[in-house]
Structure 1
Amino acid sequence: MTSHEITSFRFSTKNLPPRQRLLRWNETFGRPVARRVLAPPWSSDGQFHVEMAGYTLGSANISDNSQGISVMRMTVTAGGEAHRTRELLSDGNDDVILHVHEVGQRVVSQLGREATVEPGAGLLSSNADTSRMVLPGPARFSSVAVPRKLLTARAPGVEDAFLRPLPPDASVLRLLVRYLDILEDERALSTPELQHAVATHIQDLCALAVGATRGAAEIAKGRGLRAARLRMLKAHIAENLGDGDLSAATLARCQGVTPRYIHKLFETEGTTLSKFVRGQRLAEVHRRLADPRHAGLTIGAIAYSAGFGDLSTFNRAFRQHFGVRPSEVRRESSREAYLVPDRLAR
């Protein structure tokens, strides 16, 4: 899929015969995309399977794709090797790659060094040098490729960080992995400007992970780190609407920040934490009321399950927000559900 300044693709071996999986993966991804040679012991006995998604975005200069970033997110069910050979270096690509593992290990040999990435940790490698990568077993990971010149401008010591494992469970790595989920959100990438912003945020997080300069770090914290933290907060709220306590103090403890920082994040979007949480709860109730599958639940039960503790407050807020009563939404939904089969019958 190509849209504006973003290109994405998916690859899966799920429907391929077992003995063709490694060959097809190498032909589709290895040499043409990753510019690496895939080699055994990737299993060919039917146990090996790979699911992957790739994205390329424009970045620092929105009209210049050479300044873009590439992201690979992959799950493999068996171990194997990948080599960037001297022959493949002729492509001239000198990107710096940040690998972050969520499951499984990675052992990388390059520049006379060898390092192991543990789950939750990260590792930096160079596309300008030959390398050997080994996955000892099943793994799930993300790899972000950033142009060397671009990353070096923000983190001058980046080349000294090659094959020096980044600390496991570093908060910025967790934020980066979670923020990469935005690449699945079409609305968040619907214009070149939004795509540019997302690419810049990812670059910021990579620079912070490997050691940005003081000035670059300050910019990144107010831009990429803030965007990633806010997105993670919104996701946490959406996943926990039924929890009555979504206060700044509770969220701050979960995120490892201060309550004041939580409030400031929402202020930058022209709202408050309480207004955002209430809006999300109201939207969730509206969605359930409009869904015939929840017709067996009372309006009160739905409101309580979305985190409202007082029905009179809920009813007033719902009418102010949507301009109708909750019962009207349910009645309209029931009427439409009744009419659809009738239309089909005619």
Structure 2
Amino acid sequence: MGILVAHGVDEWAQVVAESFVPLSLVTVSGSFTGSVHSSVLGPALTLSAVSVQGHSVATRTSRLVRTEPRDDFLFSLHLDGDGAVVQDGHEAVLARGGGVLYDSARPYQLLFPTSHRQLVLQIPRHHLCDRVDRVAEVCGRALPPGGPGVRVLAAYVRELAETCESLTGTPRAELGVTTVDLLATVLRAAVGDDIGPRGLQGRSALFASMQTYARDRLSDPRLTLADLAQVHGVSMRYMNELFAAEGSSPAAFIRAERLRAAHRLLTDPRYSALTVSTVATRCGFGDRTTFTRAFVRAFGLTPVAFRAAHGHESE
């Protein structure tokens, strides 16, 4: 997605809105400069390097939550400087090498009294909710750098930020999935849940695991129903029965999730520079024609017309 640079409060507000979510900037130092270098890891999953010179206080107000809704979690890995994140009455004081998770669907405040650097992972809600049952409990709580899980996660995210631009689409998306898996492991430990969704027993847990596996690989056109069944150690017939019990089928679920991801990319201004063909590819459609037909059936408009209706003109 490239690098966005800001000099002063107005430019920084625009950069933050385009890169993450709209915020209200309460105070910014007069000599303030900031930059955000964002890389796409998968559909609507991004990793951004943030570097700021100067102090700032920014708030995701209740009004912004209502008028500019977003449904992502953000995880900040703190690299340098002083800072804190406040959400749900909790204040997470950031230490170098530590992190914090916060929810864009609820108000929060970012307090940075000094210059700072961070790596910020922006994650669609379902990616974490499918993996962590009590994810809301850890929002706004500091994840200290000394824990073994946080140390592994921090090292991985730093290395990924350094190398992901040299990766092609599918390997980059797969490493993005690994990042979310590592973060989920840290969050489950933070809420005292040592059993991941794939370690649970029962039809509902198996069904949830299949959904998660498919969602994480939507960008891969090679994803097959046979793969989905084989990875989970079940027959195609049993897998079809699981989805049928929920009123769907594996193929219909994957197609609907790919269209949902495309809908998000076409309406999010951060992705307005992507062509429709690129959106189709990133959401796992083999070609633009197939994507357009499926999109029209689902939403009643071609992707181009749909994007134009939301104020974007990119082909």
TM-score (norm 1): 0.50
Which residue in the other structure is 1:332 paired with? none
**Cα drift, residue 177 of structure 1:** 3.5
Match of 1:33 among 5, 11, 19: 19
Matched, 1:77 2:53: yes
Which residue in the other structure is 2:69 paired with? 92
Which residue in the other structure is 1:24 paired with? 11
Larger Rg: 1
Structure-2 separation of matches of 1:26 and 1:167? 29
Distance 1:141 1:186, change over 3 A: closer
Structure-2 separation of matches of 1:188 and 1:217? 31
Matched, 1:53 2:53: no
Distance 1:40 1:85, change over 3 A: closer
Which deviates the most, 93-102 or 110-119?
110-119
Letter in 1 for 2:9: L
Which deviates the most, 156-165 or 206-215?
206-215
Which deviates the most, 115-124 or 29-38?
29-38
Which residue in the other structure is 2:155 paired with? 178
Identity of aligned residues (%): 23
Deviation string for 1:198-247 (max 9, x for gaps)?
111111121122116524588xxxxxxxxxxxxxxxxxxxxxxxxxxxxx
**Cα drift, residue 78 of structure 1:** 1.6
Deviation string for 1:292-316 (max 9, x for gaps)?
xxxxxxxxxxxxxxxxxxxxxxxxx
**Cα drift, residue 74 of structure 1:** 1.0
Which residue in the other structure is 1:204 paired with? 181
- Count matched residues: 194
Letter in 2 for 1:173: V
Distance 1:122 1:188, change over 3 A: same
Structure-2 separation of matches of 1:56 and 1:129? 24
Which residue in the other structure is 1:251 paired with? none
Deviation string for 1:19-65 (max 9, x for gaps)?
x53322222x1233322335253222x3x33232112332xxxxxx2
1:1-346 → structure 2 map (5 Å cutoff): 8-13=1-6, 20-27=7-14, 29-44=15-30, 46=31, 48-58=32-42, 65=43, 68-89=44-65, 90-180=67-157, 181-185=159-163, 189-190=167-168, 192-211=169-188, 213-215=194-196
Which residue in the other structure is 1:327 paired with? none
Which is bigger in relative contact order (C-alpha 8 A, separation at least 6)? 2
Which deviates the most, 126-135 or 83-92?
83-92
Distance 1:49 1:171, change over 3 A: farther
Distance 1:195 1:108, change over 3 A: same
- Give SS of 1:41's match: strand
Structure-2 separation of matches of 1:80 and 1:187? 29
Deviation string for 1:314-341 (max 9, x for gaps)?
xxxxxxxxxxxxxxxxxxxxxxxxxxxx
Q: Once superposed, what is the RMSD of the aligned Cα atoms?
A: 2.6
- Give SS of 1:36's match: coil
Structure-2 separation of matches of 1:126 and 1:158? 10
**Cα drift, residue 127 of structure 1:** 0.7
